[in-house]
Chains A and B, each alone.
Chain A
Amino acid sequence: MDFETLRKLSRDPWFGAGMAILSVVAALILLGPVLSPYDPYDMGFRPLSPPSSGHWLGINDGGMDILSELFMGLKNTVFFGLIAASAGLTLGALVGLSSAVAGGALDRFLMRMADIFLAVPPVMVLILVAAFFRPSPRVLALALAFLGWARSAKVIRAQARVVNGALHVKAARRMGGGRVYVIARHLMPEIFPLYVIGFAAQLRVAVFMEASLSFLGLFDPSRKSLGIMIHYALRYYYMDVWIHWLLPPVVCLTLLIMASTFLAVSLEKVFDPRLKETV
């Protein structure tokens, strides 16, 4: 990666906005335990109390401190997203790269598999799996990754093939460059931007999935998450509690998704738009 691209990135307003939000989120996650000294599972407080000096966001219907819940939920949601995104992208990149480099029957086979995986609506499978087996969130994150590798694999493979067929790669091979050399020095620099862009996009999807699925009640009911908070808070929408109970998780979630959207947008803009195929 050369300095020019980094500079362009840092000047892009979307990138700045996204990073700013994410830094705040990271700070909140890290400082969470410090800022709210209560155990999120402690049900000893008076339920449905409004905000007070000791509890900035009040108490929910189960007697738990909402602020502490929020921090923990934020952490869970973000981690889920990170795991799903990195696992999905890495798997996808590996498959795409190998497929492009190996070519032939392996390539065809992998792409057929990708077609199948692409066709399956991931949320449906996740719901099925979650409903039947009640696995841990980590497993679900990996399941999401497993369902989502196909997209990045196809994109990366397409670009890898283009680069592979380029004259400068042919020239390098004819000068004696072996497979490893070509991959490392010619393919990787072209693939790397796609990886980063895909990561931001996948992160967005994963966070959204996590929130939606927990909202629907598919996770362990005692697990703290932004989605489940919204789920419970929504039941009391007719009461005044929505300001301090419903809004905070909604706002947090929105900001989180906005941040990853902004990052994805700015990364796409900055890295050569030629990289984008019509996929």
Chain B
Amino acid sequence: MGIRFKPHSGAVLGYLAAALVMVYLSYSLPMLLPGDFVTAMYSGSDVALSSEQEAKLRAFYTGEEGFGGYLLDLISLQWGISFAYRVPVSTLFLEALPWTLLLMGCAHVFSVFFGFIAGVEAAWRRGRFSEKAGVGAMTVLQGVPEIGSGVLLLLVFALNLGWFPAGGAETVYSEQTASVKTLDLLLHLALPLTTLFLAYFPGNFLLSRASMVMILKQRFIQTARAKGLKAVRVRYAHAARNALIPMVTRFGLRFAFMITGALVVETIFSYPGLGTLLFNAISMRDLPLIQAVVLISSLMVLAVNLMLEVAYSWLDPRLSDGF
């Protein structure tokens, strides 16, 4: 199966180009602001900058190093200094990143896995009441934005019932054993994770079900059933494998839109990930921080999409280098 990695060249080029565009955008934006960026940014703070620091900052933000130099800086994790926190952006970013990865990673993995299987099974039982009810419920759920469900969960489970903490990722300042710490982590993770899961699951379920329904109508399913194979095998080895393909494509397309929701959820629950970081940066008008977080996150998103593109070409042998 090795010779099948031939991602659509147009898409690969697209991602590379987009990455360059983003970097260039972030590179040139500070220069588009009226006045001197550095002065505007740092003049309001109490910190007096040494002339050396000031010169370095100016070089970074006003493009004196040129685009190439900027790229090098990016690669070497020099992403500027935060105005509000007065530490390098990279420090803040790398502190927040693991939390976001934990939250988003779990949310996506669970919702895709369960959504896919639920969709496959629902399509197999098409027409029965349970399936119709499921589809109806999920359509309604799909209409509930993350803001709504997040706030509701917060109000009900954290404030009124007190089962879960209302914010943060962990309870700090305590000597705890590993197992207690883990439990603590999970409790904090529970509500934001549930919110995101509720937001992502319906889409995956409906998509999986819809693809399956279309696949089940196709002729080769009839052939597989006539071969006397077990129902489970027909369902998964034949049908679901084909249904997976559109799911991967559409997932990639939706991914960029899912970020907004994740941002909002982190903010609602004060979860110390990149979302909250960005939110704070925005409230404090910390332009360097905003710029860097946005840029690096976007690049990460592009990387994920690229990987999906490769996965897609591996899954569907019908694709060659054309469209």
Q: Do A and B assemble together?
A: yes
Chain B: minimal CB distance from A249 (Å): 9
Residues from chain B with Cβ under 8 Å of A260 in the complex: 143
Contacts of B144 in A (CB 8 A): 254, 257-258
Docked CA distance A240–B17 (Å): 51
Q: Fill in one digit per residue for A268-279: 1 if any B CB lies within 8 Å of its CB, else 0.
A: 000001000011
Q: Does B264 have its Cβ within 8 Å of any Cβ on chain A? A: yes
Query: What residues of chain A lie closer than 8 Å to B152, measured between beta carbons?
Result: 250
B249 touches A237 (CB 8 A): no
Could you tell me the distance in whole angstroms from the C-beta of B228 to the nearest C-beta in chain A? 30
Binds A, one of B61-69, B93-101, B276-284: B276-284
Interface residue range, chain B: 35 or more
A93 close to chain B: CB less than 8 A: no
Contact partner of B249 (CB less than 8 A), chosen from A246, A265, A279, is A279
B298 on the A face (CB < 8 A):
yes
Chain B positions within 8 Å of A120 at CB level: 18, 21-22, 256, 298
Contact (Cβ within 8 A) B155 A119: no
User: Which B144-173 residues have a C-beta within 8 angstroms of A?
Assistant: 144-145, 147-148, 151-152, 154-155, 159, 166
Question: Among the listed stretches B26-34, B183-191, B232-240, which one makes contact with chain A, having 4 or more residues with CB under 8 Å of it?
Answer: B26-34
Residue-wise interface mask of B (257-276) relative to A, using a CB-CB cutoff of 8 A (1 in contact, 0 not): 10111011001100000000
- B205 CB, nearest partner CB in chain A, Å: 13
CB distance from B264 to the nearest CB of A (A): 5
CB-CB nearest in chain A for B302: A119
Proximity string of chain A (246-260) to chain B, C-beta cutoff 8 Å, 1 when within and 0 when not: 100011011001111
Q: A119-B15, A216-B278, A253-B145 are in contact. List 9 more A-B contacts (CB 8 A).
A: A119-B17, A119-B305, A123-B257, A151-B253, A212-B260, A234-B268, A251-B148, A253-B148, A261-B139
Which 6 residue pairs spanning A and B have beta carbons closest together? A115-B14, A258-B143, A119-B18, A121-B256, A261-B143, A254-B148
- Residues of B whose CB lies within 8 Å of any CB of A are 10-11, 13-15, 17-19, 21-22, 25-26, 29, 32-33, 139-140, 142-145, 147-148, 151-152, 154-155, 159, 166, 211, 214, 245-246, 249-250, 253, 256-257, 259-261, 263-264, 267-268, 278-279, 282-283, 285, 287, 290-291, 294, 297-298, 301-302, 305, 323
23 contacts between A and B (CB under 8 A): A115-B14, A115-B18, A118-B14, A119-B305, A121-B297, A121-B301, A122-B257, A124-B298, A125-B22, A125-B298, A128-B29, A128-B290, A212-B147, A216-B282, A250-B148, A250-B151, A250-B152, A253-B147, A253-B148, A259-B143, A261-B139, A265-B139, A278-B246
